[in-house]
Amino acid sequence: MNKELRESFHRAYMTFFEQAERTRRWNPFTDIDWDAIALDRTDAQLATNAETFCGVEMFLPDYLNTHLELFGRNYAQAWFAANWGYEESKHSLVLREYLHRSGQRTEEQLHDYADTILSKHWQRPYATPREMLIYGMIQELTTFVVYRSQRTLALDTGHSVLADIYRLIGRDEMAHTKFYQHMVAMHLDDDREGTLIDLAHVLRTFRMPAEQLLPDAEARSVLMRSTGINGQVYLRDIVAPTLAALRLTRHDLLRTRKSAIPGQDAATHDQES
C-alpha cells in the first residue's frame, strides 16, 4: 500500500473513532431497560433469530484473527479492527443477555451453544486484503438490513426491549458500513479498475459469515430468509445503496466484468430467494 493511501486511511479512522467516542458508545447493562423485559411475551421465532445472530457474532475471534493477519501492519486498519471487535463483542453479549433475561434460554443452554459454536472455525472467503475489505463493507450493510427488519418485527409484535437492542446494534453496523465505504472509495481512487473487478466479484459471490457453521444451519437459514434477506432485498437494500455510496452504477461493474472475464454477466447475487 502506498504512503498516500495509508495516510488517508489513518485520517479516516481518526474521524470514525472520534465520532464513535462522542456520539455512539452504549452500555449493554445500563442503556437497555431490562426491567421492561417482563412486558415482552416470549416468541420462539424472535428468540431463534436472536440466538442465530448471537452465534454468528460469536465467531469474533476468527474474524479478528483474519483481519489482523491481513491488516495488522497497517495502523488505521488494525486499530479499526480492535475497535470493531469491541463493538461486535457487545452485540453477541447483549443478545445473550436478552435470551437469558427473557427466560427463553437457560444459562446451561447458552453455554452449550457457545461451546458448539467455538468448536468450529470460520475461514475467510476471499484471498486478498482488498477483497476482504469489500466483503466487510457488504457484510456490515447486510447485517444492518437484517437487524432493521428484526427491529420492525419486534416493534410490530410488542417486543420493545428486543427492538431497542436491535436499534443500538444497527446503529453500530451502519457506522461500520460507512467507514468501510470510505475505505473502498479510497481504493477506487487509487486503483479504479482493480477495485471494480474485486467489487463485482464480491457482490456476486457474497454470503453472510458463518451461517453454515451454526447448529441446525439449514433450518436457521430458511427461517432467516423468511424474515430478512432474500435475493430481491439484497439487490434493493444492499447492492443499490452500496453502488450509490461509491458513486457507481451496475453498468460500471458490467463493463469491468466483461473486459476482465469474457462471457460473464454483471455482478448478481445468486442466493436463493
Collect all residues with Cβ–Cβ distance below 8 Å to 261 and sequence separation of at least 6: none
Q: pLDDT confidence of 269, banded at 50, 70, 90? A: very low
Mean per-residue pLDDT of the chain? 88
Q: pLDDT confidence of 233, banded at 50, 70, 90? A: confident
- CATH code, 115: 1.10.620.20
Task: Tell me if 52 is assigned to some domain.
Answer: yes
Name which residue leads in pLDDT, 222 or 237: 237
The structure's pTM equals 0.89
The answer to whether residue 87 scores a pLDDT higher than 90 is yes
Judge contact between 179 and 263, C-beta under 8 A: no
Task: Tell me if 91 is assigned to some domain.
Answer: yes
Amino acid at 259: S
Q: 263: left (phi > 0), else alpha (psi -120 to 50), else beta?
A: left
**Domain with 160 in it:** 3-13+41-260
Task: Tell me if 30 is assigned to some domain.
Answer: no
Task: Tell me if 243 is assigned to some domain.
Answer: yes
Task: Tell me if 65 is assigned to some domain.
Answer: yes
Angstrom CA distances, 262 to 150, 165, 268, stand at: 40, 46, 16
Burial of 33: CB neighbours in 10 Å, binned 0-12, 13-18, 19+ = exposed
Q: At what angle do helices 44-57 and 129-156 cross, to 10 degrees?
A: 160
Q: pLDDT confidence of 268, banded at 50, 70, 90? A: very low
> Number of folded domains in the chain?
1
The rounded distance, in Å, linking the Cα atoms of 40 and 50 is 14
Nearest Cα neighbor of 255 from 243, 242, 268, 264 is 264
Task: Tell me if 197 is assigned to some domain.
Answer: yes
Task: Tell me if 97 is assigned to some domain.
Answer: yes
Output the pLDDT for position 215. 85
Task: Tell me if 27 is assigned to some domain.
Answer: no
Q: Give ∠ CA 94-223-46 in degrees, rounded to 5.
A: 35
pLDDT by residue (tens digit) across 40-81? 778 888 999 999 999 999 999 999 999 899 887 888 889 999
pLDDT by residue (tens digit) across 13-47? 999 999 999 999 999 999 999 999 987 778 888 99
